[in-house]
Structure 1
Amino acid sequence: MFQEERIEAIMEYLREHQRMDVKEICDRFDVSRDTARRDLVRMDEIGLIVRTRGGAMLPTLNRAVTAYKDRMQRATDEKRQIGREAAKLIRDGHYLFLDTSTTVATVAEHIRTTGNVIVTNSIDIAAKLADNKSLKVHMLGGQLELEHRFLFGATALAQLADYYVDTLFLGACGISPDGLSYPHEEDGSIKREMIRRADRVVVLADHTKFGKQLFYKVAGLDDLDVIVTDREPEESMLRLLERHDVELLIVEGDNQHD
């Protein structure tokens, strides 16, 4: 069976059952896990599905599905390589959360798609997006954290309750076997609510974040779908990520701490 035929059959299954995991694709079509993953990557690239932990689901937002192109180019600045690679995951018309990370801010610099609706609590990211007329930007309200320049609190959380998005782009301070952790509970509570309201969670983290454990746990590894980083983590972490069906995207170039 050719890939196009499998894609059509997978779509028929998804229209009936909403979700399908990699193992089921392997069993139904007698293909390897690598082949199943390539099928899902292709379906994601053309906007048919949302990739999830271990499989795929139909997009839950009520909007038309269109074909997409990846217009991202390689970056020479190592700091922006992670953000540029992550921006490649965005499709036209996708609804997005962008959190307050400085690496996520580089995603904002490299958005080349149109018709996106973006929600953020970062005043700097909102400013970066302000001149892009093809985007709609929603700024969360609340109390301003002066040092790190993000908005938080009950007002921001209440606003988040009204939103649901395709993808969350999330920075990381620490990634350990226990999951993602951050130094500030105020920021962490916003990130946790964003995770609950996103079909897909994409984490941006340079290699120095692996193995770190900070004060406030926001999510377990099973809450994550993709990690974009600049260096492969140690073998034990690789096995954990594979066990939790977290896709690892590694950019090329020298490493630079964000």
Structure 2
Amino acid sequence: MSFPNRKRIILQTVEEKGSVEVKELADLLQTSEITVRRDLTQMATDGLIYRTHGGAMKVSLAKNPVQFVNKTAVNSENKDYICRLAAQQIQEGDVIFMDCGSTVFRLCQFIRNKRIQVITNSLPVVNELLQSEVTVNLVGGEVDAKRQAVHGLIAHEHIARYRAHKAFLGVDGISAANGLSAHSETEAGMTLAMAGQAEETYLLCDSTKLEKDKYMQFAPLSLVQTLVTDPDARPEILALYREQGVRVMN
């Protein structure tokens, strides 16, 4: 297949799905992953797509000051490890909350074929799951263009109308002494709102955030039942969380 034809199919796929992995494109195009990577590099140079660690994303999703797509690519292998573990906890028929964290976003690729309901304030999560088996409920309220997410009083009221089996949430920092912390009240408020309406709360947190205290401490460790992290997490740190009754998966 010629490059122009491959480019057309890649653009169509990215437009429909929002983001796509190299392996998926290689299977679709019936070509090698090396060829796909070369095509994506050329298309990114031409400004047609945004190149991510393992594939490509729509340019419109990447154009924002905090560069959400870049955040999803940082520590991507560890984040995918975390999300694979988290996805195993989700059963057919579950109703789950997903916040706008970059690690939580990477959970989408592992739940696309599950018949579940997702309640989220994340625009990238909505876009990623539209063409999937998942039923999506977008939280209403004021759109934060920088975070590509919905926040505010109305968003909290929306969340309060629903009950979920599980909440999958991110955090900016976690420590045994001070609990959970965030960069802003906005992020903290959404975490509290979703955790308060879920039967079980999972914190998806890569090891770089462990024993880190950020701007605002907003909740004790007891807010979450399960911490899902990566193999790089130091055992002595994880032991501190287990001592406080948190289930740890890594």
TM-score, normalising length from structure 2? 0.65
Structure 2 gaps, min length 5: 1-75
| 1:91 equivalent in alignment to 2:94 | no
Distance 1:233 1:77 in 2: 17
Partner of 2:160: 161
Tell me how far 1:189 sits from its aligned partner.
0.5
Partner of 2:183: 183
Partner of 2:105: 105
What pairs up with 1:77-226 in 2 under 5 angstroms?
A: 77-111=77-111, 114-132=114-132, 134-177=133-176, 178-226=178-226
Distance 1:238 1:104 in 2: 20
- Alpha-carbon deviations, 1:193-226, whole Å to 9, x = none? 1111111111111111011111223321112111
Partner of 1:232: 233
- In terms of fraction of residues, the more helix-rich structure is 2
- Alpha-carbon deviations, 1:86-141, whole Å to 9, x = none? 11110000110001111111111111553311100000001111001x22110011
215-224 vs 158-167, which moves further: 215-224
Residues 90 and 113 in structure 1, CA contact (< 8 A), matched pair in contact too: no
Closer, same or farther: CA 113–92 of 1 in aligned 2, 3 Å: farther
- Letter matched to residue 225 of structure 2: D
Closer, same or farther: CA 77–241 of 1 in aligned 2, 3 Å: closer
Distance 1:163 1:233 in 2: 36
Distance 2:246 2:126 in 1: 29
Distance 2:90 2:112 in 1: 9
Distance 1:211 1:78 in 2: 17
Residues 83 and 106 in structure 2, CA contact (< 8 A), matched pair in contact too: yes
Distance 2:175 2:83 in 1: 21
Distance 1:242 1:182 in 2: 22
- Letter matched to residue 198 of structure 1: A
Residues 172 and 203 in structure 1, CA contact (< 8 A), matched pair in contact too: yes
* 1:89 counterpart SS class: coil
Residues 221 and 246 in structure 2, CA contact (< 8 A), matched pair in contact too: yes
- Letter matched to residue 186 of structure 1: T
* 2:169 counterpart SS class: strand
- Letter matched to residue 182 of structure 2: Y
Residues 100 and 120 in structure 1, CA contact (< 8 A), matched pair in contact too: yes
TM-score, normalising length from structure 1? 0.63
How many residues are matched? Answer: 173
Distance 1:162 1:79 in 2: 30
- Letter matched to residue 203 of structure 1: L
* 1:156 counterpart SS class: helix
